[in-house]
Structure 1
Amino acid sequence: MWVVIGACLSADVALAAMRLPIGCKKNVFLTITGKIDKITNTADGTYEMSEGEFLALPTSTVTTSTPWTPKSDFAGPLLTRILQEVAAKGSKLRLVALDDFSVEVDSAYLGKYGTILANSKDGVRLTVRDFGPIFVMYPRDSFRKELDTPFGASHMVWQLCGIVVE
């Protein structure tokens, strides 16, 4: 009997370990892993995007309020552009924050709203103290019925450090 219980517990622990979100990597601005064709770290199959690479991408602006901020101009690259950069192949993403908070998002949801990875607010770079260095931003004010909800708020991940393509 103990062998069966032990085997079940071992399987549960192994399954839980596989589902843990990726952590942030020291000295890496944004880590992308999972179903991607372009990688920079062959040891663990990740794309490690530097801050310089991130800042070199074309920028879009979303003017909106959030549950935590007044109406502001948020700027950063489109999340779909980041996914193109790494040749992402999945239909879902897990967005991971510095504190290991994570949320799963359908990639169609991102394209529908023109989601950006904001790194500035009203022309000022975001820091860890104010939702940065990356804040997942949706045009909440333009789609209030759909995005001004607890579900919409939970997808505005601040202190983003990792993306898992599933």
Structure 2
Amino acid sequence: MFKSRMLALGLPLVSIFFNGVVADAATRIPNGCRQNVFLTISGNIGKTTNGAKNAYEMSEREFLALPTSTVTTSTPWTPRSDFVGPLLSRVLGEVDAKGKKLRLVALDDFSVKVDADYLEKYGTILATSKSGIRLTIRDFGPVFVMYPRDSFKNELDTPAAASYLVWQLCGIEVE
């Protein structure tokens, strides 16, 4: 009897706590990203949509309208799959990116700096689907930085290279 009462009282409290945590996480936007923007590209760029922030705030519709490429590879977290999305170089070209250093920013506040030439050398894409299924926040999306890791094992199958496979990408800062 006591156990069932504790469960009856405790579960709603736990639920309220977790709902508050999830709601807080959903409203907190990392530095380098913008609320209600699919992908924010900022910094040393020649084309902006938000001059005050020196940023190009790309909508989902605009991003999905870009020509796509396919990368078939595995990652440390996924089996061999077909990833589809626009080339990183194409996205950077859309905003007239002038810098060669990038800081890739994820929704969970993870960020990593990388040389743009390094990523472009391998045909890096910004994937929005995996094996024909649209990526969601729960499944590495909405944008997952991807390159052909399996095709360049010596260069790309390293812990450092794996750190550039940023999922939940929401921002790119160009230096």
Q: Which TM-score bucket, shorter chain as reference?
A: 0.7 to 0.9
Q: Percent identity?
A: 76
Report the counterpart of residue 123 of structure 2 in structure 1. 114
Report the counterpart of residue 89 of structure 1 in structure 2. 98
- 1:87 maps to a residue whose letter is D
- 5+ residue gaps, structure 2, are 1-29
Report the counterpart of residue 133 of structure 1 in structure 2. 142
Corresponding residue to 2:75 among 66, 85, 92: 66
Q: Structure 1, residues 36-55: CA drift from partner, whole Å, max 9, x if none?
A: 00000122111000000000
Instruction: Give the C-alpha shift of residue 111 in structure 1.
Output: 1.6
Verify the 8 A CA contact 1:23 1:98 in the aligned structure 2: no
Q: Structure 1, residues 23-68: CA drift from partner, whole Å, max 9, x if none?
A: 3211100000000000001221110000000000000000000000
> What TM-score, normalized to structure 2?
0.82
* CA distance in structure 2 between the aligned counterparts of 1:165 and 1:22, rounded to whole angstroms: 14
Report the counterpart of residue 152 of structure 1 in structure 2. 161
Matched, 1:26 2:35: yes
Verify the 8 A CA contact 2:128 2:135 in the aligned structure 1: yes
Aligned pair count? Answer: 146
Q: Structure 1, residues 58-113: CA drift from partner, whole Å, max 9, x if none?
A: 00000000000000000000000000000000011000000111011101102210
Corresponding residue to 2:57 among 43, 48, 65: 48
Higher Rg of the two aligned structures: 2
Of stretches 30-39 and 40-49 in structure 1, the one that deviates more from structure 2 is 40-49
Runs ≥4 residues deviating over 6 A: none
> What TM-score, normalized to structure 1?
0.86
- 1:109 maps to a residue whose letter is Y
- 5+ residue gaps, structure 1, are 1-20
Report the counterpart of residue 44 of structure 2 in structure 1. 35
